[in-house]
């Protein structure tokens, strides 16, 4: 059974996409990244192997995709507010659908949000699964830039190397510079090992139920406007400082070739994390930033084995 509709979450109508099955092994609450890049349109592609075994919930965070009501004040689009919204989503699931203790599945910035939610209210969640974990932009972005320069030099792309050489190490403090650098990361396989174009993303969207699909301009506009608002806040945040202990299990799924959220800070943070339950890092050797797409079969098996 599929339910797609808006719920009032901390005073703002926000879109939830729910796919229910009989006798579920649990409920997965997906937190998208970007910041601002809704992932519900690709739920069919990512969840196809375990729909029928788990309830899944996707959520357009405030300011994104279908969660952009006219009443929304941009001043309320902050990391802390979205964390509060995520906790409120759990109340909605419990009140409306009698769902308790979902498993958090966060991707990229969504993984950062998921860890914050798990840290603040561990009693609400069964476990935390992070994909392409964002830890600290001030540490990861210079690594990403160095990767691009190395690839440009190795591939003799003097045009891109010249462009990259004039980017300062703190290029990411400018959102236009960030977006341009991410285009180069994608071209060099640091987002998806086998780079894809807009046409492929749109084709993948067709694997989802029609209720989940969105129009590309709406997706991109929501991502761009939300990222511009959230990014200055996000780049000053760090899991090293904010989350030193977790009171529930955490598993991180990391693409070996990920240069959107490079792995060195992920390994460092996880090693220093005090966890009262299990903590684990699982590598995806053929993936970059989207292992749930690039190695979907392995991703699905891991979800099943973990739960």
Q: Quick one: pLDDT at residue 172? A: 95
Q: What is the CA radius of gyration of the chain?
A: 18
Cβ-in-10-Å burial (0-12, 13-18, 19+) of 10 comes to middle
Instruction: Output DSSP code: residue 224.
Output: H
Mean predicted lDDT score pLDDT of the chain: 95
Kindly report the length of the chain: 307
What is the rounded distance in angstroms from the CA atom of residue 39 to the CA atom of residue 301? 20
What is the rounded distance in angstroms from the CA atom of residue 289 to the CA atom of residue 116? 20
Q: Structure tokens of 267?
A: 């390994």
Q: How many structural domains are present in the chain?
A: 1
218-237 tens-digit pLDDT:
888 888 889 999 999 999 99
Closest to 149 (Cα-Cα) out of 141, 161, 139, 138: 161
Asked if 16 contacts 89 with a C-beta cutoff of 8 angstroms, the reply is yes
Domain CATH for 263 = 3.40.50.1820
Q: Which domain holds residue 133?
A: 2-306
Tell me the pTM. Answer: 0.95
Asked if 57 contacts 47 with a C-beta cutoff of 8 angstroms, the reply is no
Q: With a cut of 90, say whether residue 13 has pLDDT above it.
A: yes
What is the rounded distance in angstroms from the CA atom of residue 86 to the CA atom of residue 123? 14
More confident residue, 306 or 184: 184
Asked if 115 contacts 51 with a C-beta cutoff of 8 angstroms, the reply is no
Q: Residue 267: in which H helix or E strand, if any?
A: helix 263-272
Q: With a cut of 80, say whether residue 307 has pLDDT above it.
A: no
Closest to 71 (Cα-Cα) out of 113, 4, 10: 10
Asked if 47 contacts 19 with a C-beta cutoff of 8 angstroms, the reply is yes
Q: How many CB atoms lie within 10 A of CB 75?
A: 8
Q: Quick one: pLDDT at residue 241? A: 97
Q: With a cut of 80, say whether residue 33 has pLDDT above it.
A: yes
Is residue 52 classed as helix, strand or coil in its secondary structure?
coil
């Amino acid at each position: 059974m599929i339910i797609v509709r808006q719920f009032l979450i901390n005073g703002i109508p926000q879109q939830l996409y729910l796919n229910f099955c009989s006798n579920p092994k649990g409920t997965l609450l997906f937190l998208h990244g970007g910041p601002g890049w809704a992932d519900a349109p690709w739920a069919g592609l990512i969840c196809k192997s375990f729909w029928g075994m788990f309830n899944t919930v996707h959520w357009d965070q405030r300011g994104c995709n279908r969660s952009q009501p006219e009443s929304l004040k941009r001043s309320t689009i902050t990391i802390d507010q979205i964390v509060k919204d995520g906790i409120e989503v759990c109340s909605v699931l419990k009140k409306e659908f009698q769902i308790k203790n979902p498993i958090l599945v966060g991707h990229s910035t969504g993984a950062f949000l998921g860890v914050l939610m798990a840290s603040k209210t561990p009693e609400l969640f069964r476990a935390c699964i992070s994909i392409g974990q964002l830890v600290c932009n001030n540490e990861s972005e210079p690594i990403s830039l160095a990767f691009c320069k190395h690839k440009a030099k190795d591939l003799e792309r003097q045009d891109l190397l010249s462009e990259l050489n004039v980017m300062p190490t703190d290029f990411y403090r400018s959102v236009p510079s960030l977006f341009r650098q991410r285009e180069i990361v994608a071209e060099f396989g640091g987002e998806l090992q086998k780079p894809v174009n807009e046409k492929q993303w749109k084709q993948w969207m067709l694997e989802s139920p029609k209720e989940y699909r969105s129009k590309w301009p709406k997706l991109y506009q929501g991502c761009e406007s939300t990222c511009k608002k959230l990014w200055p806040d996000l780049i000053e945040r760090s899991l090293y400082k904010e989350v030193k202990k977790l009171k529930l299990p955490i598993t991180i799924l990391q693409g070996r070739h990920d240069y959107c959220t490079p792995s060195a800070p992920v390994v460092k943070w996880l090693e220093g994390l005090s966890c009262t339950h299990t903590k684990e890092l699982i590598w995806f050797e053929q993936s970059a930033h989207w292992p749930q797409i690039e190695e979907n079969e392995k991703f699905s098996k891991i979800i099943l084995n973990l739960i």
